[in-house]
Amino acid sequence: MISTQLSVFLTVANCGSFSKAAERLFISPTAVMKQINTLESRLALPLLTRSSHGVRLTPAGEIICKDAQFLTDYAAQSVENARRAMTEEPKVFRVGTSMLNPAKPFMDLWYQMSEAFPNYALNLVPFEDDHNGILAEIVRIGEKYDFLVAACDSDAWLEKCNMLMLGRYEIMCAVPRGHRLAQKELLTPSDLRGDTVLMVAAGDSASNDAARRTLEEDLHIRIEDTAHFYDISVFNRCAETGSVLLTLSCWKDVHPALVTIPVDWAYAVPYGLLYAQHPPAHIERFVRTLAQHR
């Protein structure tokens, strides 16, 4: 950032002679003198007094030397600051949010953790709960957003991201408000006899597959498959058909026409903080700090 001529001048001023400056710069004394002569000519100022004993600064040279040293130091610090800016952690955490995967659980965590991350801000990034496109959204964790708090018992999801488990959501049943079971405070699995139960297709969720075996094999209840991943269309289908929908405790208020009722069984789906498979350092630090606080 500082011109070669100015750098050579500072070296000569520090060394006190052209020959010593030449040794330090690994060039010839003649090349050093040419650089100084060119600089003096450009500035129209004598910067050095030459003698057989070496060189010394003129009054003009002393001022130029002092200011040039300041500029050199300032330029070096500027470059260092620029390099640091390229390697410093970003100061924003991007959090995905949707109707079925709201950001509120992350916000609850953030209020516990924010003191460990001063000067960080949160940026909420909305996305759609589209069962046809949700895997594409999961793949973009780390690109589109840094975190997503979601129920996740899906092998397909966990192949595409990491998860720090935070807890479990109970598997419950949702029914239309006019359904025969709507007034019950607690269901038993046998209460579902005579109804069609909507639930995710088998093969991607261990928890849902276990509940399916209880309903289908033990109680011979009719099951109708949904897509592997819920979106609002599944809740609309329940409301329109009068079927029972296997849902989660975190979704009890998703659809105003449905009532969500707990079931007397132990089935639950894990939920957690989803983040990229190869996260940057500040994301790893957040996850590590959160794990230590739990």
Portion of the chain with pLDDT greater than 90, in percent: 74
Per-residue pLDDT of 67-78, as tens digits, reads 889 888 888 888
Is the pLDDT confidence value at 85 over 70? no
* HSE (side-chain half, CA atoms, 13 Å) at 135: 12
Distance CA 271, CA 264 (A): 20
Q: Is the pLDDT of residue 96 over 80?
A: yes
Distance from the Cα of residue 20 to its chain's centroid:
54
Q: How far are the Cα atoms of 252, 275, 281 from residue 291, in angstroms, in the given order?
A: 28, 13, 15
Q: What is the pLDDT of residue 75?
A: 85
Q: Convert the pLDDT of each residue in 212-262 to its tens digit.
A: 999 999 999 999 999 889 999 999 999 999 999 999 999 999 999 999 999
For residues 101 and 172, what is the distance between their CA atoms, to the nearest angstrom? 17
pLDDT at 87: 66
Residue 113 has pLDDT above 70, yes or no: yes
**For residue 246, which of 279, 221, 271 has the smallest C-alpha distance?**
221
Average pLDDT of the residues of the chain: 92
Any long-range contacts for 251-260 (C-beta under 8 Å, 24+ apart)? Answer: 251/100, 251/174, 252/172, 252/174, 254/99, 254/100, 255/174, 257/176, 257/177, 258/174, 258/175, 258/176, 258/177, 259/174, 259/175, 259/176, 259/177, 259/179, 259/182, 260/172, 260/173, 260/174
pLDDT at 89: 61
Percent of the chain's residues with pLDDT above 70: 97
Based on its alpha-carbon atoms, the radius of gyration of the chain, rounded to whole angstroms, reads 35
CA distance 67 to 5: 14
Q: Map 36-89 to HEC letters.
A: HHHHHHHHCCCCEEEECCEEEECHHHHHHHHHHHHHHHHHHHHHHHHHHHHHCC
CATH architecture of 4-87: Orthogonal Bundle (1.10)
Q: Are the C-beta atoms of 55 and 48 separated by less than 8 Å?
A: yes
The answer to whether residues 61 and 46 touch, using CB atoms and an 8 Å cutoff, is yes
> pLDDT band at 181, cuts 50/70/90?
very high
CA 67 vs. chain centroid, Å, equals 44
pLDDT for the residue 249: 96
Give the residue among 240, 257, 259, 271 at the shortest CA–CA distance from 186.
Answer: 259
Same fold, 4-87 and 92-287: no
Alpha carbon distances (Å) from 183 to 89, 175, 205, 260: 52, 10, 29, 10
Q: What is the pLDDT of residues 19-76, one digit of tens each?
A: 998 899 899 989 989 999 998 999 999 999 999 888 999 999 999 999 889 888 888 8
- Give me the pLDDT at residue 182, please: 97
- The pLDDT score that the predictor gives to residue 82 is 77
Residue 90 scores a pLDDT above 80: no
The ranges assigned to domains in the chain are 4-87, 92-287
Q: Which residue has the higher pLDDT, 131 or 20?
A: 20
Query: Where does 92-287 sit in CATH, by number?
Result: 3.40.190.290
Whether residue 191 is predicted with pLDDT greater than 90 in this model: the reply is yes
CA–CA separation, 290 and 283 (whole Å): 11
